Amino acid sequence: MKNRIKVFRAMHDLTQEGLAKELGVTRQTILAIEKGKYDPSLDLAFKIARYFEVTIEEVFTYGE
């Protein structure tokens, strides 16, 4: 699953650590999601999308 978290982070001028704190997860989790090594749960995916005030499809794209 591809994602645009890095782009949205840059748009909000936010570090991985900052986003992790806002979402209540570890920095390593944000890093793993951005690198595509870990697919977040629906709950976390929605939290990320809501934090950036966009739809989930704008952040995550399903596919290999």
Measured from the CB atom, the residue of 41 and 57 that comes closer to other proteins is 41
Measured from the CB atom, the residue of 1 and 11 that comes closer to other proteins is 1
> Other C-beta atoms within 10 Å of 52: how many?
19
Give me the residues that bind other proteins (CB under 8 A), please.
24-26, 28-29, 32, 38, 40-41, 43-44
Inter-CA distances, 57 with 2, 13, 17, 39, 60, Å:
10, 21, 23, 14, 5
Least separation in angstroms between residue 54's CB and other proteins is: 21
**Spatial CA neighbour of 6 closest among 32, 44, 42:** 32
Least separation in angstroms between residue 22's CB and other proteins is: 13
